[in-house]
Structure 1
Amino acid sequence: LGRADAPHGRAANPLGFNVNGVIAWFLMELVSPVTCLMAASMDSNSHGDYNFDLRRIWTLPTGRLILLLAFLLHYFNRTVVSTFRNPSRSKMHVIVPIMAVMFNLLNGYLIGTSLSGQCPPAPLQSSKTIASPAWSWAMFHLCMGGWAIGFISNIIHDEILYGLRRSSIGTGKYSVPHGFLYSLPLGGVSCPNYLSELLEWFSFANAASICFQHLEPTNTVCDLSIYDSPPGLFFLAMVGVLIPRAVRTHHWYRDKFGDAIPKKRRAIIPGIL
């Protein structure tokens, strides 16, 4: 992960097997919310037959419903809004959407079934878990606030990049992004959109752990058991993907622009990494 770039964007494969970047992005990202929604609305009868009823999601405990809607909102922005707001998207090697679809199928299914109480099935069998209003707990509010900050920050920094791409249409030239987390007093970071997304999913995983608990929540941020749940595993997967990608992007900026990049700017964690 630390040495290889996915073959798209700046690292697009010039030898062929490339597909339209806009269409591929839309389709591969659409898989996750659609799969999640279907998994959350799935139910089985005594014969083991499965059926889908979207009305089922509105019967979920409030905390789980909020998390499901947050997940869908993230992917609405990532799939629909990003497709229309991004002025250009390079071709990508066909392996990229194939691998993304496989990951999104698995992740969407696990997130959907976990939030709907099907995976594992035990939490929703507890009357305390069903009745306890997770949305009223201070830690849940704090975690969802962190998710919202990460979500908004992600949009802001994506828009900065989109603006640079609009100004470079016809020239093909890259520019150094500035503003907000790009330009913090410590020098900022080269990939604040990745940092924002990590904040989103870290907060999401902690909020989900509260909803999955049978008893009153404790300090979930320090509870490592949250990372064996689908939301926690999703966060760890994003750490494994986004941090190495941010480091590579930062090195690319250094090689491309040299002294135009502030010396104190880091890859993804201000002043550290």
Structure 2
Amino acid sequence: MAWLLPNRIIKVFLQLRLAIWITYFRNGSGSWIFNDIRKWFTLSLIFPPLLLLLDIPPNAFLPAFIPARIDHIKSVFAIELIASVGFLFGFLGSPLSYHSPDRDTVTISQHLLIIMYLAPRFNHAVIGPLRARQLSPKSETISVIYNSFYNIVLGFLIGAFLASPLVKATLSGLSLRFLFGFAIWALGFKGKLMHDEILLNIERRAISRAKDGEEGSEVKELHATIPQGVMFQYVSFPNLFCELVQWLGFAIVSSPFPFDLSSILSLINLANIVSVIQKPSYMFAPHLSPSYVLFMAEAAMKIPRALNGHKRYRERFGPSYPTERKAIIPFVV
């Protein structure tokens, strides 16, 4: 890490890292905390799809005195700040280290993984709002609350995992898996930016027309509002699809695929599912790394969101909306 930071900052970094580790994670207690959080957070991912299946409004559980919608830009910044705090606590504390991490160095591969994790967060929290500063969107309050919890937990898990001796040992060089995963991540990241820009341009044109008092025909207005171009010809939400691709690439880079075919097929049996849930946390899907938990969490959040949005698009535009478009995954769903 010395090639990136001056010695004084490195010294503060190491002192803070040691203080967190001694206070919370020494004598192996960190691994128990890590595995407990990893297990129960993974199991909680059933709830977003369940809410979609039961058609429960997102604000159904919100007390009446709390506003149903809040400023989107401020809420996004707060969520990503929370995620960064969770990540830094997990990375600095290094709960999976059984020995004092005060003399640990951060490898080039770890640096790259940190950038791959934080770059989309920075884009979401800072660059995105700057690009959308003309707009004033709102977010569902309950979604902001859930996303805050979701991001701080995942941030901690990812930070702890990237600081672990396992990642340091297995990512000592640039393997084919590393390069393949990085290419997928880069494609997803670029695709997300590109499709976000298309959506922002639609909003900007709508604001400009409203200011100019332009009145066009209904058909012209519909076709001007329906997103077009690149992957919009296949899915309604290519920006969300690209996010999934991005985090899949991150998962491929950081760890091997956690399941084999037999273990996946075994979950068809309800008794096997119950058995997996009842196992101690350290035995629960032992090869399931936080990076794949992140990918699963993104899928659990983004797919229901895309399905709901796709349904609204069809209701709003009717026959004018392209019938061949899927919601989020081309040719699938």
**TM bracket, shorter-chain basis:** 0.7 to 0.9
Structure 1, unpaired ranges of 5+: 8-12, 211-219
1:178 aligns with 2:224: no
1:104 aligns with 2:151: yes
**After superposition, where does 1:89-168 map in structure 2 within 5 Å?**
89-117=136-164, 123=166, 130=169, 133-134=172-173, 136-168=174-206
- Residue 272 of structure 1 aligns with which residue? 332
Q: Deviations over 1:91-122 (max 9, x none)?
A: 334333222211111011110010000xxxx6
Asked if structure 2 preserves the Cα contact closer than 8 Å seen for 1:61 and 1:130, the reply is no
Amino acid at match of 2:113: L
> Within 1, Cα distance between the matches of 2:186 and 2:90?
24
Amino acid at match of 1:96: S
Amino acid at match of 1:138: L
- Residue 88 of structure 1 aligns with which residue? 135
- Residue 39 of structure 2 aligns with which residue? none
Q: Name the SS of the counterpart of 1:19 in structure 2.
A: strand
Structure 2, unpaired ranges of 5+: 1-48, 212-220, 262-284
Asked if structure 2 preserves the Cα contact closer than 8 Å seen for 1:111 and 1:231, the reply is yes
> Within 1, Cα distance between the matches of 2:324 and 2:293?
32
TM-score scaled by length of structure 2: 0.63
**After superposition, where does 1:1-273 map in structure 2 within 5 Å?**
1=49, 2=52, 3-4=55-56, 6=58, 16-42=67-93, 59-86=105-132, 87-117=134-164, 123=166, 130=169, 133-134=172-173, 136-169=174-207, 171=210, 175-183=225-233, 188-210=234-256, 220=257, 223=260, 228-273=288-333
Between the aligned residues of both structures, percent identity stands at 29
The Cα shift of 1:89 comes to: 3.9
Amino acid at match of 1:246: A
Q: Deviations over 1:136-195 (max 9, x none)?
A: 211110011000000000010011111111111274988210111002xxxx11000111
Distance 1:5 1:162, change over 3 A: farther
The Cα shift of 1:251 comes to: 1.2
- Residue 5 of structure 2 aligns with which residue? none
- Residue 278 of structure 2 aligns with which residue? none
Distance 1:116 1:43, change over 3 A: closer
> Within 1, Cα distance between the matches of 2:286 and 2:147?
24
Q: Name the SS of the counterpart of 1:98 in structure 2.
A: helix
Q: For the aligned residues, what is the CA RMSD?
A: 3.1
> Within 1, Cα distance between the matches of 2:171 and 2:69?
50
TM-score scaled by length of structure 1: 0.76
The Cα shift of 1:238 comes to: 1.1
User: How many equivalent pairs are there?
Assistant: 237
The Cα shift of 1:17 comes to: 4.4
Asked if structure 2 preserves the Cα contact closer than 8 Å seen for 1:33 and 1:71, the reply is no
- Residue 7 of structure 2 aligns with which residue? none
Q: Name the SS of the counterpart of 1:71 in structure 2.
A: helix
Higher helix share: 2
The Cα shift of 1:39 comes to: 2.5
Amino acid at match of 1:123: L
> Within 1, Cα distance between the matches of 2:313 and 2:296?
26
Asked if structure 2 preserves the Cα contact closer than 8 Å seen for 1:190 and 1:246, the reply is yes
